[in-house]
Amino acid sequence: MPKPHDLGGKPHFDPIVLKTTLPVDWELTIDGISSLLRKKGFYLTDELRRYIEKIDPEQYLNMTYYGRWCTAITNILIEKQLIAEDDIQKQLDLL
């Protein structure tokens, strides 16, 4: 069963949307977090890729690029026991 990320040659015939938008604040934040955590040695690029590829196929196709990053980074940090799901929930409750 091919994984959702392995897209080459797949019949996704939506037109290319030529207009691009500049990343908004939360996208800049997760983009920065991703590079920073890698630079600090918390994970390797291919580890992050593996966690992106583990995202449920349907979810993968319906998530934006930075949405996938947020999901994968959260999962990798939880699995490495650097953070716990409760920690994030606590912070979310404070927002």
Partner 1 sequence: MYDNLEDHVSHSHQEPHFDSPDTSSFEKQVEGLKQTLLSKGLITQVELEEMIAELDQRTPFDGAQIIARAWTERDFRNRLIANGTKAVSELGYHPPDDFQSLVVLANTEFLHHLIVCTLCSCYPRWLLGRPPDWYKSIAYRSRAVSDPRGILNEFGVTLDPNISIRVVDSTAEVRYMVLPLRPSGTDNLNMKELVGLITRDSLIGVGLPHSPSVG
Partner 2 sequence: MDNLLGHTETYSAGDLVRVSYDSRIMEHVRTPLYIQGKCGTIVKSHGKFANPEKLAYGLQSSPKVHLYMVEFYLVNIWTTAYANDSHDSICLDIFEHWLTSI
Number of residues that bind partner 2 (CB under 8 A): 14
**Among partner 2, partner 1, none, residue 81 binds (CB under 5-8 Å by kind):** none
Task: Select from 29, 20, 11 the least CA-distant residue to 73.
Answer: 29
CB 73 within 8 A of CB 33: yes
**Among partner 1, partner 2, none, residue 11 binds (CB under 5-8 Å by kind):** partner 1
Tell me, residue by residue from 33 to 62, as one string, x for binding to partner 2 by CB under 8 A and - for no binding: ----------xxxxx-xx--xx--------
Which DSSP symbol is given to 83? S
Q: In angstroms, what CA-CA distances link 64 with 16, 34, 59?
A: 15, 15, 10
Interface with partner 2 by CB under 8 A: which residues?
1-2, 6, 8-9, 43-47, 49-50, 53-54
